Amino acid sequence: MQRVDYEGVAASYDRRYASNDFDDIARCLSAFLANGQSIVELGCGTGHWLARAGSVQQHPFVVGLDRSSAMLAHARHAAPDAALVRGTADSLPWSSAAFDRAFCVNALHHFGDPLAVYRECTRVLRRSGSFMTIGLDPHTNRDEWWIYDYFPTALEADRRRYPSTETIRSDLASVGFVRVETTVAQRISAVLAFEDAEAQGFLDRRSTSQLLLISDEQWAAGLEQLRRERPTLRADLRLYATVGCIAEVQAP
């Protein structure tokens, strides 16, 4: 499985927000946050969700963390009021009990050691704090996606890198989170003619990390089949939100 070069794709990364309606994720994020809280986004990328987080705060202390300097350069424009830090989610550069909320959107699968991330979140979150992760679960066999149909090794790669929601819940509980629950944050359904998909850039390999993970040979074979068959491209995907809370310290 190849690695995604986020330094190289940062400039075109936000195209996904122009072509997809993620309003339900925005509502889910707003419900998770509250005015006056201190917030950190792990894997903030170009700052799309960081800007959303800041917009629901009356007195925001919003911080974004990402390991890609190119992504953070774009985030500086998208979320100018947020503090930005270059680093990794499994070794957070903050003192204990620094934040009320921590979240990541479509980023957990990029973190090499999710358990270490969860442990770090239990450390930097205050006693009333919560953590939320939103992402795909390719283990459910419920989703339909033309990318998985024409590039089957992308599905294999996703099943290796995405933990299932069941695993996420179990791992969060194992490090001390309580009231851990999963809900559907967003359902994305689309039907698009091949010609329209090509014109709108959906066949650009940089349009999604799934296409960047497969080999050049696998990419070429799938693209050749698509152009030969010129099918109607279909997608029916679910993104899941899993939330865990830090247990309140009980008075003696």
Q: Which residue has the higher pLDDT, 15 or 52?
A: 52
Q: Which residue has the higher pLDDT, 54 or 251?
A: 54
SS3 168: helix
Q: pTM here? A: 0.88
For the chain, give every domain's residue range.
6-246
pLDDT tens sequence across 74-131: 999 999 989 999 999 999 999 999 999 999 999 999 999 999 999 999 999 999 899 9
Structural tokens at position 19: 């072509």
Nearest to 29 by CA among 181, 133, 126: 133
Could you tell me what percentage of the chain is helix, strand and coil, using 3-state DSSP and rounding each to the nearest 5? 40, 25, 30
Q: How far apart are CA 127 and CA 35, in angstroms?
A: 17
**Average confidence (pLDDT) over 159-166:** 96
**Average confidence (pLDDT) over 65-70:** 94
Using alpha carbons, list the distances in angstroms from residue 100 to 38, 75, 79.
Answer: 5, 22, 19
Q: How far apart are CA 143 and CA 235, in angstroms?
A: 8
pLDDT, position 209: 84
User: Which one-letter DSSP state was computed for residue 205?
Assistant: G
Q: Which CATH class is domain 6-246?
A: alpha beta
